[in-house]
Chain A
Amino acid sequence: MSNAHAANKSSLWDWLTTVDHKKIGILYLISGGFFFLIGGLEALLIRIQLMKPENTFLTGDLYNQVLTMHGTTMIFLAAMPIIFAFMNAVVPLQIGARDVAFPFLNSLGFWLFFFGGVLLNLSWFLGGAPDAGWTAYAPLSTTSSGSGLDFYVLGLQIAGAGTLIGGINFLVTIINMRAPGMTFMRMPLFTWTAFITSGLILFAFPALTIGFFLLMFDRVFEANFFDASMGGNPIIWEHIFWIFGHPEVYILILPAFGIISEVVSTFSKKRLFGYSAMVFATVLIGFLGFMVWAHHMFTVGLGPVANSIFAVATMAIAIPTGVKIFNWVFTLWGGQIRFTTANLFAVGFIPTFVMGGVTGVMLAAAPADYQYHDSYFVVAHFHYVIVGGLVLGLFAGLYYWYPRMFGKMLNETIGKWNFWTFFIGFHLTFFPQHFLGLMGMPRRYFTYPEGFGLGSMNFISTIGAFFMTIGTILFVYNIIITHAKGKMVSGDPWDGRTLEWAIPNPTPHYNFLQTPLVRGLDALWIEKMAGNKKMTPAEPVGDIHMPNNSILPFIMSLGFFIAGFGFIYFNKGGALALVAIIVGLGIGLVCMFLRSWIDDHGYHIHKKDLPKEDKGADL
């Protein structure tokens, strides 16, 4: 196959057709990062509107759209793909694999997410964005006029399919493709959290898929699922959404836990404290994450029995989470701590996340929740766990794995400025919101009256948002500087402990010349302690089997994107919409057919084209 040399050539075509997990990771990072900036811009607009009482910067319907798109973009189009970026970039390397289990599906998952995200954001230019909140509660969502909610349903449906595919891919990769000796209890914690997160995706996303179908049928085909006058029931939407939505929260936070575990351990020069307890806590959080969704619905009126059960289950999650917090602290304890930017973010994460966790337990108390519900207290809580938890974790991961992904280290000085502006800005933004909530300020309102004493804290909160903006701009500047002036570093710039640091820089596209033999937890560290310069190989140098690139995932996703448009305009677009549906779905089906029809055996990199021996990471 001509793919062997095509893979070395960097061109647009190569990026469109790539099935290499490292490149797909970069694609996820760039598009997730782009959507993160859009979502951040929307957040800034929200904060400007709320800067002073009775402001008229963004009012009514437009505010609703910005608010909805901020939440939706951040969760589905920024946080999830950046997590997938790390999972792609790191997990196969951490388990000593040459690629993921399904490279073709990996590419398909990315393109579905990408086109879904684009479709959703096109709503801005085509008559208005969705405006029913990221939760899209019926009947507000079923009766919202305009096409905004149709873009929401179709865009997220397509993106969600990509996520589901990614989840299955990583489950199989981690189960089937670990290097010899890499038992489950020797897997780095980030791989563990990626594993559990993938499991949550597998069982949570199908519920959302159906939820979106029901909503779409109600809006587009005049079904009556949520229309009470025809016997429908809007509570069903709430249940379905949260049966997905609560596990989603853990889908987001678990990988951040994994990143923090790697970073804290590496920069304390210590083995992670309580590794097996950490694994157990991760699994337990994953399990409990499915048992608590109704705590979002305490005020719906499920009755005292259901509320009590879900309250207790929710509080129980604090236990495994507490185990994790203590283990990170104990890992730091007595370690040779290096305060690199990655570690600063990790250390900043710990107390911040504890605060988010504590307000979580407060919200779990069902009677008290009647007070907090739909107030800024809730907004403060989930931003503490999602920004203070996940986003700080993602920043830590970016600074930590950047040299692995791009070969260059991000500038540490700018990095520290990045950390402090973002960290201070974050607390400045969200800490006052707890009190705003307790004072009675409801969430999702576009303004508040004068004379309620809400003005000064809202103003502080907006100042904080500008600090976070500066932090983010510094980060973007750091990336530009690094790529313009940064030098290539060795394959192991941090004195790492796990397998992703055992290979040369830049990473060869087959990852490992020889599959490594894993002899314990922190596999690379064990070799270092034994005085070895590189991993002990599990096999001699031989031909390496690699998957072929393919354009089909891109075209297939494009097909569904076109069909999505057709469904959105089904009631207004007449025959053209119908044509779009038929053509779009047709393209999708033809691509599936071609995938089935064309035998694809991959290709081999021959031994003579490979280096004679594994040089390791050039320690």
Chain B
Amino acid sequence: MNVGERLTDQNFPESPEKATLEGKNKFLGFWLFLGGETVLFATLFGTYLGLRNSFGKGPEASEIFQLPMVFAATIILLTSSLTSVYAVLALKENRVKAMRGWLFVTLLLGLSFLGLEIYEFIHYVHEGHTFTSGAFGSAFYTLVGFHGGHVLFGCLWLSTLLIRNSGRGLTLYNSPKYYLFALYWHFVDVVWVFIFTVVYLLGKVG
């Protein structure tokens, strides 16, 4: 079968994302990449934890963190993780419309998360907590900013995926792409769970 051919309910494989060698390779390669990303974020977390009480000229963490807003951002990102799971379930059943719908919701949630984060950053800068105000500031913006950058990249990736494949069904060629995006999105959410705990909640108690 041609990999670019639209799959039907009759020839739909059990795991369309892994039905070709290319798909299998992408699947494994992406998981390994996430393993590497774990170390990448761990290094950022470690740096942050090493410097989290070195406020320099900036305000202290417990004074400025806006927990209710961060809490809302957390719920948004968690929900977007759920919607991307729904998209994967739809993918496995060859329900293209449902899948694309859920992914679209994921995209909207991702964008609103980004909006909240930008608003939050602007607020902090006004409070005097900046990238250069002290080691804490540098570490905070680098860690949270790296995560935000991942969300932004995810949104760009997902938009490209959705636009490119609009009007096209699932094929053995594009199924791995959708699946990989979902993996990426979950990973970004995992990182956020730790940012929420280690940066914000821990910052409140000092």
Does B205 make an interface contact (CB < 8 A)?
A: no
Does B55 make an interface contact (CB < 8 A)?
A: yes
Is A217 in contact with B33, judged by CB distance below 8 angstroms?
no
Is A230 in contact with B39, judged by CB distance below 8 angstroms?
no
- Which of A169, A218, A232 is most buried by chain B, counting CB atoms within 10 A of its CB? A232
Asked whether A176 and B28 contact (CB < 8 A) given A206-B36, A240-B43, the answer is yes
Does A224 make an interface contact (CB < 8 A)?
A: yes
Asked whether A224 and B29 contact (CB < 8 A) given A203-B39, A233-B54, the answer is no
Asked whether A231 and B56 contact (CB < 8 A) given A176-B24, A205-B36, the answer is yes
Is A599 in contact with B4, judged by CB distance below 8 angstroms?
yes
A215-264 CB contacts (< 8 Å) to partner B? 217-218, 221-225, 227, 230-233, 236, 240, 243
Q: B139 — which chain A residues lie within 8 A by C-beta? A: 225
Q: B66 — which chain A residues lie within 8 A by C-beta? A: none
Q: A217 — which chain B residues lie within 8 A by C-beta? A: 131, 138, 142
What separation, in Å, do the CA atoms of A213 and B141 have in the docked complex?
12
| Per-position binary interface string of chain A over residues 193-225, scored 1 when its CB falls under 8 Å from any chain B CB and 0 otherwise | 000000000111111011101100110011111
Interface of A is mostly: helix
- A226, closest chain B residue (CB): B135
Tell me the minimal C-beta distance from A559 to chain B in angstroms: 16
Is A172 in contact with B28, judged by CB distance below 8 angstroms?
yes
Is B142 in contact with A223, judged by CB distance below 8 angstroms?
yes
Is B44 in contact with A210, judged by CB distance below 8 angstroms?
yes
- A209, closest chain B residue (CB): B40
A154-182 CB contacts (< 8 Å) to partner B? 164, 168-169, 171-172, 175-177
Is B164 in contact with A597, judged by CB distance below 8 angstroms?
yes
Is B40 in contact with A233, judged by CB distance below 8 angstroms?
no
Number of interface residues of A (CB under 8 A): 42
Asked whether A172 and B25 contact (CB < 8 A) given A207-B43, A236-B51, A596-B164, the answer is yes
Is A231 in contact with B135, judged by CB distance below 8 angstroms?
yes
Asked whether A601 and B4 contact (CB < 8 A) given A214-B142, A225-B135, A225-B138, the answer is yes
Q: B134 — which chain A residues lie within 8 A by C-beta? A: 224, 230-231
Is B132 in contact with A206, judged by CB distance below 8 angstroms?
no
Is B32 in contact with A213, judged by CB distance below 8 angstroms?
no
Does A101 make an interface contact (CB < 8 A)?
A: yes
Does B160 make an interface contact (CB < 8 A)?
A: yes
Q: B47 — which chain A residues lie within 8 A by C-beta? A: 210, 214, 225, 236, 240
Tell me the minimal C-beta distance from A201 to chain B in angstroms: 9
| Per-position binary interface string of chain B over residues 31-56, scored 1 when its CB falls under 8 Å from any chain A CB and 0 otherwise | 01101110110011011001100111
Does A102 make an interface contact (CB < 8 A)?
A: yes
Does A125 make an interface contact (CB < 8 A)?
A: no
Is A233 in contact with B135, judged by CB distance below 8 angstroms?
yes
Q: Indicate which residue in B2, B24, B35 contacts A203 across the interface (CB closer than 8 Å).
A: B35
A321-357 CB contacts (< 8 Å) to partner B? none
Does B78 make an interface contact (CB < 8 A)?
A: no
Q: A171 — which chain B residues lie within 8 A by C-beta? A: 28-29, 32
What separation, in Å, do the CA atoms of A301 and B46 have in the docked complex?
19
Does A593 make an interface contact (CB < 8 A)?
A: yes
A67-113 CB contacts (< 8 Å) to partner B? 101-102
Tell me the minimal C-beta distance from B137 to chain A in angstroms: 7
Tell me the minimal C-beta distance from A3 to chain B in angstroms: 17
Is A202 in contact with B36, judged by CB distance below 8 angstroms?
yes
- B44, closest chain A residue (CB): A210
Q: A240 — which chain B residues lie within 8 A by C-beta? A: 43, 47
Is B29 in contact with A230, judged by CB distance below 8 angstroms?
no
Is B56 in contact with A102, judged by CB distance below 8 angstroms?
no
Tell me the minimal C-beta distance from A1 to chain B in angstroms: 13
- B137, closest chain A residue (CB): A224
Is B36 in contact with A222, judged by CB distance below 8 angstroms?
no
| Per-position binary interface string of chain B over residues 1-12, scored 1 when its CB falls under 8 Å from any chain A CB and 0 otherwise | 011100000000
Tell me the minimal C-beta distance from B43 to chain A in angstroms: 4
Q: A601 — which chain B residues lie within 8 A by C-beta? A: 2-4, 173
Q: Indicate which residue in B2, B4, B40, B51 contacts A225 across the interface (CB closer than 8 Å).
A: B51
Does B57 make an interface contact (CB < 8 A)?
A: yes
Is B21 in contact with A223, judged by CB distance below 8 angstroms?
no
Q: A203 — which chain B residues lie within 8 A by C-beta? A: 35-36, 39
Q: Indicate which residue in B35, B50, B164 contacts A236 across the interface (CB closer than 8 Å).
A: B50
What separation, in Å, do the CA atoms of A211 and B43 have in the docked complex?
8
Is B3 in contact with A206, judged by CB distance below 8 angstroms?
no
Q: B37 — which chain A residues lie within 8 A by C-beta? A: 206
| Per-position binary interface string of chain B over residues 125-152, scored 1 when its CB falls under 8 Å from any chain A CB and 0 otherwise | 0000001101111110010000000000
Is A101 in contact with B25, judged by CB distance below 8 angstroms?
yes
| Per-position binary interface string of chain B over residues 144-173, scored 1 when its CB falls under 8 Å from any chain A CB and 0 otherwise | 000000000000110011001000000001
Q: Indicate which residue in A101, A206, A224 contacts B40 across the interface (CB closer than 8 Å).
A: A206
Tell me the minimal C-beta distance from A222 to chain B in angstroms: 5
Q: A230 — which chain B residues lie within 8 A by C-beta? A: 54, 56-57, 134-135
Is A168 in contact with B132, judged by CB distance below 8 angstroms?
no
Asked whether A221 and B131 contact (CB < 8 A) given A205-B36, A206-B37, A207-B39, the answer is yes
Tell me the minimal C-beta distance from A546 to chain B in angstroms: 12
Is B157 in contact with A596, judged by CB distance below 8 angstroms?
yes
- Which of A177, A210, A224, A240 is most buried by chain B, counting CB atoms within 10 A of its CB? A224
Is A599 in contact with B173, judged by CB distance below 8 angstroms?
yes
Q: B33 — which chain A residues lie within 8 A by C-beta? A: 168
Is A223 in contact with B131, judged by CB distance below 8 angstroms?
yes
Q: B173 — which chain A residues lie within 8 A by C-beta? A: 599, 601
- A207, closest chain B residue (CB): B43
What separation, in Å, do the CA atoms of A169 and B28 have in the docked complex?
10
Q: B50 — which chain A residues lie within 8 A by C-beta? A: 233, 236
Asked whether A172 and B29 contact (CB < 8 A) given A223-B132, A225-B51, the answer is yes
Tell me the minimal C-beta distance from A276 to chain B in angstroms: 25
A169-B29, A230-B56, A236-B46 are known; give 20 further A-B pairs, CB within 8 A. A101-B25, A164-B36, A168-B32, A172-B29, A203-B35, A203-B39, A206-B43, A207-B39, A210-B40, A210-B43, A217-B131, A217-B138, A218-B138, A221-B132, A224-B132, A224-B134, A224-B138, A232-B51, A597-B164, A599-B4
Smallest CB-CB A-B distances: 4 pairs: A231-B54, A206-B40, A223-B138, A231-B135
Q: List 10 A-B contacts (CB under 8 A).
A: A172-B25, A204-B39, A207-B43, A218-B138, A225-B47, A230-B57, A232-B54, A233-B50, A236-B51, A596-B161
Residues of A within 8 A of B (CB): 101-102, 164, 168-169, 171-172, 175-177, 202-207, 209-211, 213-214, 217-218, 221-225, 227, 230-233, 236, 240, 243, 589, 593, 596-597, 599, 601
Residues of B within 8 A of A (CB): 2-4, 21, 24-25, 28-29, 32-33, 35-37, 39-40, 43-44, 46-47, 50-51, 54-57, 131-132, 134-139, 142, 156-157, 160-161, 164, 173, 177
